[in-house]
Structure 1
Amino acid sequence: MSGEIEVDWLVAGAGAGGMTGAVVAHQLGGSVLLAEKEPVYGGTTAKSGGVAWIPANHRLAEFGIDDDSEQALSYLRGLIGDSVPEARVRAYAERASEMLRFMMQHSHVHYTPLPAYMDYYDSVPGYQSGGRSMDPAPMHIRHLGGAAATMSRDHYTDLLLPFNVSVVEGRRLQEMDFGAYALGARLAARYYLDLPARLARRGDDRLTLGPALVGRLRRSMLDRDIPLWLDAPVSELLCEGRRVSGARVCRSGKDIVVRARRGVLLTTGGFARNAILRRQYQPQPSSDRWTAAAPGSTGDSITLGEKVDAALGFMGSAWWSPTYILPDGRSLALISGKSNPGSIMVNRCGRRFTNEAQPYEDVVKDQYASEARGEGAVPCYLIFDTTFREKYTAGHIKPSKITPDSKLPPNYFDSGLLTRAGTLAELARQIGIDAAALEQTVADFNDHARLGKDPAFGRGDSLHDRYYADPKVEPNPSLAPLDRGPFYALRCEPGDLDTKGGLLCNEFGQVLDGNGDTIDGLYAAGNASSAVMGDTYPGAGSTIGSAMTFAYIAAQHAFATP
């Protein structure tokens, strides 16, 4: 292999942003190389729900939803304030829909609005009650051919169900009525009748959520013969004067100089798996074990960018979510289980500290605030009773009517992940929290929950709070008393889906230096860049939506520049 090659566009990182940037550049007539440091492609996207938050998207009219970029900008500006330059926020509000239309026209990417999946903050002007968050279309893995073997398959759904489900299917299954059981039966039948996969003892070959988006992007690259190098980290950016002209890529133990005529796009993810950077920048205590991000999210773009004087932003922020650690070391995000009735979250003082059903970003921010007050909220505990245990999932742990305690792995209990006791006082003793305070907290909560009220935190008041709750419970689908033992505690950490601090960029995705000037030839998108959302989380899919949008914008800018 030659020690030097030349392309128009070099992309580092094979997640949603990187593969989008590669496809767009190729469609614009460029020669493209995508380099991924891991032995598999997909990154954190492959571990995610694959949802993209795309305001004013072109499919909303099909669902009778009226939206435009000015409403979206008003909503974003109301959340973000002036912490991000308006030109960058406006670029997202105006061009996310353009990106989606382009990708649905020129690639296998396909998204459908979720009309019942609302933005997270209904009090902010420009809010939409549904449709901006979009579900990626499923695909069968056979369409990837041999490329299926190197796709990341590290997704949490294999712990919950034998078959994969879309966002819509997953939401329907949670309702556990006749229609939900019928849907489950159809999905199970399709899964078990896929004889090639069953005989090979593979997982479900029907991809949904993040893996489906990854698969569709990879198929789009295969159609275009865009090369993807795996096990190929970028070790150094190369410059000619002040312009980034390429990079040094290590492949098969050999350094390859890749000249990039149009530029280099960094989409290597955040630094959630980098303990040193977390200690330097993030709220404490923190751990690289608590994140649900991919193993490759170690801050490579930050290291590369700083060597060419790139500026950084929002390094103390993350796409926060409570997580819990399995005995095998895997960290899973707790997205939906915390909203169901018959549960509360408490700190080690035995007190509630948050509206458990609010957006997961805010739960972790409240957890850190409680810790800072000396209340011992790291870890905290999701407390629930036997009624909850029988009816609802707690993370990936299925209801006891499906998986009784006797069928759970014993190390769930032995490791302290899950604790069970006949009384609240005994549960408190086992997990080391104030027993009298926990009993009083639950008593107070129960008195109000029976009336459908939460005067302390307003749980269940918003449409968002009710989305993952139980509509059969009245008057508040997110509230019910904890009054039936035995009682349970799930240990929860202040985790994240990945960090959101990184290289400071302008509205074109160009990386900026400490003086606010552009570093010509260098672009960044996704969690490698400083988030356009700032320290906020506007709605489900904000991570992937912004990654794909700014990868698209970056490629368009690079190929429009002489």
Structure 2
Amino acid sequence: MSADREIDWLVAGAGAGGMTGAVVAHQLGGTALVVEKEPVYGGTTAKSGGVAWIPGNHRLPELGIDDSPEEGYRYLKGLIGDSVPDARLRAYAEGAPSMLRFMMAHSHVHYTPLPAYMDYYEEVPGYKSGGRSMDPAPLHIRHLGRAAASMSRDHYTGLLLPFNVSVVEGRRLQEMDLGAYLLGAKLAARYYADLPARLARRGDDRLTLGPALVARLRRSLLDRDIPLWLDAPVTELLTEGGRVCGARVTHKGESVTVTARRGVLLCTGGFARNAALRQRYQPQPSSDRWTAAAPGSTGDGIRLGEQVNASLGFMGSAWWSPTYILPDGRSLALISGKSNPGSIMVNRQGRRFANEAQPYEDLVKAQYASEARGEGAIPCYLVFDSLFRQRYTAGHIKPAKITPDDKLPADYFTSGLLARADTLGQLADKLGIDAATLERTVQRFNEHARLGEDPDFGRGRSLHDRYYADPRVEPNPSLAPLDRGPFYALRCEPGDLDTKGGLLCDEHARVLDGDRRPIAGLYAAGNASAAVMGDTYPGAGSTIGSAMTFAYIAARHAFKETGQGGTP
């Protein structure tokens, strides 16, 4: 295995994009090798929801939803504008549904559209109220055989529920009604009936979300005998006659020369875990501890691209999301808990600074804007009352009716992650916030919340705002007063799911050089590339959808350009 190798297609990175690119290349008749620098495969995909945003996908007619690649392009263009070339936007809008159909036909990848999961910006032409965001199908880990042992998993296991749930199941459980309890009982019964997993003290072997997508892609590699090397970083790109023709890879402690006749695809993730690059390019303050990205997201693609004079783009951008840091150092994204009634988010002046229920990308941008105004928004705090605490989750923290305060880990409070006080004034003192300002903020919010209004930030007006809210609360499912002590605060940082700046690419996923000309033989997809979404977040699954799509586009282009493989 450590001898020099000659293949058609070398892929660096074993997340959704990398494994997709390998499957496509193999289907087109080529030989492929996937190398992953970490000792486990899955990358940030394995820590994600696994959702893919696919406009015009072939399953929408099943739901009676009318969509097309042209409408997807209109939505992207209206949101992103001229910051990304038209050709690249069209390549995504047209390539995404083609990629999905191809992968569902030629691999174990399986996606179902989510009819209630809307695009994020309903005022933009081409918007759809559901169906473009798609949920990966669950898969039992036994289908991976021995390969299961080296899969990245258990990032969230046991934090909220002992068993895994799909997007649809998770949303249903949040409703906390009779149907939700029955679903929970069914899922729990299945979990406890899996005796091999319980006896081995493993997490849930029924994989959902990102781990399910990773498992389905890994099974697809196994079926095709596509090798995957772990602990195998790419140290250098090799060139000949101005063309990237392979790479040096460290494998089993040896430097291996891998010649790639058709090209090299970089899917190595972003640079969220690289403190130096964050300091150089990202808004400040920043920290590599605040991200929810995988440990391997240290900017390897950027380092390799710079060896061949590659251009970079969107280096100041990220897939932003508020995060909070557990006492053990894990960083978790706060996606849904910020939208429920009976809560607000305040800076350290004790003032609200944004619509808390808006898309997570925009909320972090507002947090940075508040910090820039000198309002002390990093960190900020999600403040909620005892009724919220009784009914809803705050991040992974279960409602008090399931896990009362005395059952929470003590270090949640001693570490500063969570604060509790009988009055708002006492809570403010614990947080170092001016008590009078916080009390005035809550008083104003409460007056309007009782009427279902938020004149300051418009919370609850959009379909997105209401998606993670409580439909039982009227007239606005995202608004209710904070008026029942004790009061709580969850410390939140301006985190991300990963960075989205990287190697500038064209519509064929070819990496561009300093003169914006394609570098022959070098391709990039996913967070190693400058995002096709630019500095925006069109809808849930934009990161995985674009990673898989441009990996698919890259493989097709490489094999067509070199005279091998037809149109799938």
Deviation at residue 37 of structure 1 after TM alignment: 0.2
Contact residue 322 and residue 492 of structure 1 kept, 8 A: yes
Cα distance between partner residues in 2 of 1:157 and 1:423 = 34
**2:158 counterpart SS class:** helix
Cα deviations across residues 180-218 of structure 1 (Å, max 9, x unaligned)?
000000000000001111111111000000000000000
Q: How does 1:162-561 map to 2 (within 5 A)?
A: 162-561=162-561
Query: Offset at 1:144?
Result: 0.3
Q: Deviations over 1:459-502 (max 9, x none)?
A: 00000000000000000000000000000000000000000000
One-letter amino acid of the structure 2 residue matched with residue 468 of structure 1: Y
Aligned to 1:67: 67
Q: Which AA in structure 2 matches 1:324?
A: Y
Q: How many angstroms apart in 2 are the aligned matches of 1:428 and 1:513?
A: 52
1:230 partner letter: L
2:467 aligned partner, one-letter code? Y
CA–CA separation in structure 2 for the residues paired with 1:107 and 1:362: 35
Q: C-alpha displacement at 1:2, in angstroms?
A: 5.0
CA distance in 2, matches of 1:200, 1:287: 37
Q: Secondary structure at the match of 2:322?
A: strand
Answer whether contact 2:157 2:203 (CA < 8 A) is retained.
no
- Cα distance, 1:157 vs. partner? 4.3
SS of the aligned residue for 1:189 comes to helix
Report the 3-state secondary structure (helix = DSSP H, G, I; strand = E; otherwise coil) of the residue aligned with 1:420: strand
Aligned partners of 2:193, 2:430: CA distance in 1, in Å?
45
The one-letter code matched in structure 2 to 1:86 is D
How far residue 514 of structure 1 moved from its aligned partner, in angstroms, is 1.0
* Counterpart amino acid of residue 129 in structure 2: S
Corresponding residue SS for 1:34 = strand
- The residue identity in structure 2 corresponding to 1:195 is L
Q: 1:70·1:93 contact (CA, 8 Å) conserved in 2?
A: yes
- Residue 253 of structure 1: how far off its partner (Å): 1.0
Structure 1 residue 95, shift from structure 2 partner: 1.0
Contact 1:48 1:155 in 2 (8 A): no
Instruction: Give the CA deviation at 1:3.
Output: 3.9
In structure 2, distance between residues paired with 1:241 and 1:486: 70
Measured in 2, the distance between the counterparts of 1:160 and 1:451 equals 32
Conserved? CA contact 1:8–1:263, under 8 Å: yes
Pairs aligned (count) = 562
CA contact (8 A) 2:157 2:204 kept: no
Preserved CA contact (<8 Å) 1:513 1:519: yes
Q: Which runs of 4+ in 1 moved over 3 A?
A: none
Maintained 8 Å contact 2:269/2:526 = yes
Unaligned runs of 5+ in 1: none
Q: Check whether the contact 2:501–2:529 (CA below 8 A) recurs between aligned residues.
A: yes
CA distance in 2, matches of 1:201, 1:370: 45
User: Contact conserved, 1:40 with 1:230, CA < 8 A, in 2?
Assistant: yes
Question: Whole-Å Cα distance in 2 between the matches of residues 219 and 247 of structure 1?
Answer: 26
Could you list the per-position Cα deviations for residues 56-88 of structure 1 after superposition, in whole angstroms to 9, with x for gaps in the alignment? Answer: 000000000000111111100011000000000
Percent identity of the aligned residues?
82
Find the aligned partners of 1:107 and 1:241 in 2 and give their Cα distance.
36
Q: Deviations over 1:527-547 (max 9, x none)?
A: 000000000000000000000
TM-score by length of 1: 1.00
Distance 1:158 1:286 in 2: 29
CA distance, structure 2, for counterparts of residue 22 and residue 442 of structure 1: 53
CA contact (8 A) 2:154 2:203 kept: no
Which residue of structure 1 lines up, in the alignment, with residue 566 of structure 2? none
The one-letter code of the counterpart of 1:291 is T
- What's the CA shift for 1:53? 0.0
Shift of 1:155: 2.6
Amino acid aligned to 1:295: P
Answer yes or no: is 1:114 the counterpart of 2:114.
yes
| TM-score, reference length from structure 2 | 0.99
RMSD over aligned Cα atoms: 0.6
SS of the residue 2:494 aligns to: strand
Report the CA distance between 1:252 and its aligned residue.
1.2
- 2: CA distance between counterparts of 1:26 and 1:72? 29
Aligned residues of 1:46 and 1:154 also touching (Cα < 8 A): no
SS in 2 for 1:82: helix
CA distance in 1, matches of 2:404, 2:205: 28
Deviations 1:119-146 (A, max 9, x none): 0000000000000000000000000000
- Where do 1:144-159 residues align within 5 Å? 144-159=144-159
